[in-house]
Amino acid sequence: MMKILVYTDLNAAQQTQLQNEFAKDIEFIFRNSVKDDLQSAFQSASIILGNPPANWFTEVPENLSFWQLDSAGFDQYQNVKLKNIVVANMGDFFSIKCAETIVAGILAFYRHIHELVRLQTEKKWIGKPLRYKLDLLSEKNIIILGAGSIAQSIEKILSGFNCSIKITARKNPRAQIHSYDNLLSELQKTDLVINTLPGKANKYVSADFFNAMQKGSLYASIGRGNTTDEEALLDALTTRKISGAVLDVTEQEPLPQQSKLWDMQNVILTQHTGGGYKEEDEGKVKFFISNVKRFLNGEEVQHRVNLEQGY
């Protein structure tokens, strides 16, 4: 009997939906039903849905043939060696959600919504003097780091604000900036930088990067937390080299209580919620069903990836 391990945490209705879509001779093993022996269940699986711990793959399940990740990113698996096993991620499933979150944070920063919310909790009315602190997203010069689906969704939203947008990527033809030196030069005349980079670009946004940014510009990140050198970011924020930061991701998550980022009034933290929405799990189940059926029917799966190459 084929066994499908569902490592993704689903509720009872979603589990039933999955089971009803497949033949009765397929056994589903749900993570919350075998808490004490989950790794043994992992070893018996032919198909895996979700993101088990990377160290479990030190011993690859003998019958594993298809693995459907429940995320777009998979940096934690870059050292996992799999032969003749089809692996797929969620592709652009989270892209528009991430784009809306980071643009919402940027708009909130420019329009000082974060400050107004603090004043509301303090029941403190400032009113007119605040009007002269407000800025606009419209017509800003923007650089987006990366050219993937999140970057493309952000670009689409920002096009409605009449912004001048340049995208960076080494080889992608959609990009206007292809080298790091060219990027550093462009940063000197850029109002806003949006980071959508994958985890393999470790500390790409470094002290040199922040030093090259235009004074008073804004930094936003919806990529991976390790792509930003956080010490360099803190220095740029403290010295007011940059006006502020909108961060969906941080180097360490949850962000440690002692982090200075918590107390900085020129920082907006969205706590890695960027890809979320209220029907997220239902959307995952629908995609899982479609992709598993494609695999079982011998069809090409959607969003197949190469773990070692990182895409």
Domains and CATH numbers, the chain: 2-93+278-296 (3.40.50.720), 95-269 (3.40.50.720)
Which residue is it, tokens 């479990």?
A: 56
CA neighbours within 13 Å on the CB side: how many for 42? 21
- Burial grade of 258 (CB within 10 A; 0-12, 13-18, 19 or more): exposed
pLDDT band for position 109 (cuts 50, 70, 90): very high
User: For residue 151, what are the CA distances in angstroms to 87, 100, 168, 196, 296?
Assistant: 23, 11, 10, 6, 32
Side-chain half-sphere exposure of 37, counting CA atoms within 13 A: 5
Give 33's pLDDT tier (boundaries 50, 70, 90). Answer: confident
Predicted local distance difference test score (pLDDT) of residue 75:
87
Closest CA to 148 of 247, 225, 72, 227: 72
pLDDT surpassing 80 at residue 311: no
Q: 18 exposed, middle or buried (CB, 10 Å; 0-12, 13-18, 19+)? A: buried
Mean pLDDT of 272-291: 96
Backbone angles phi, psi at 296, to 5 degrees: -65, -25
pTM for this entry: 0.92
Query: Tokens 């605040």 belong to which residue?
Result: 130
pLDDT of residue 270: 98
* In the predicted structure, residue 310 carries a pLDDT above the cut 90: no
Q: What tens digit of pLDDT does each residue of 49-92 get?
A: 999 999 999 999 999 999 999 999 898 898 899 989 999 999 99
User: Among 250, 281, 251, 284, which Cα is nearest to 267's?
Assistant: 250
Write the pLDDT tens digit of every residue in 141-184.
Answer: 999 999 999 999 999 999 999 999 999 999 999 999 999 999 99
How far out from the chain centre does Cα 274 lie? Answer: 7
Q: What are the strands of the beta sheet with 267-269, ordered from one edge? A: 164-168, 141-145, 192-195, 217-221, 242-247, 267-269
Computed from CA positions of residues 249, 250, 252, 253, in that sequence, does the dihedral angle turn out positive or negative? Answer: negative
pLDDT (0 to 100) of residue 1 = 85
pLDDT digits (tens, 9 = 90+) for 118-127: 999 999 999 9
Distances (CA, A) of 255 to 55, 76, 228: 24, 19, 14
- Cβ neighbours for 72, distance < 8 A, ≥ 6 positions apart: 89, 90, 91, 92, 93, 94, 95, 149, 275
Over range 285-297, report the average pLDDT. Answer: 97
Q: Count CB neighbours of 165 within 10 A.
A: 18
For residues 120 and 259, give the distance between their C-alpha atoms in angstroms, rounded to a whole number.
Answer: 25
- Which two tokens mark 42? 């992992």
pLDDT of 305 above 80: yes
Asked if 41 and 33 touch (Cβ cutoff 8 Å), the reply is: no
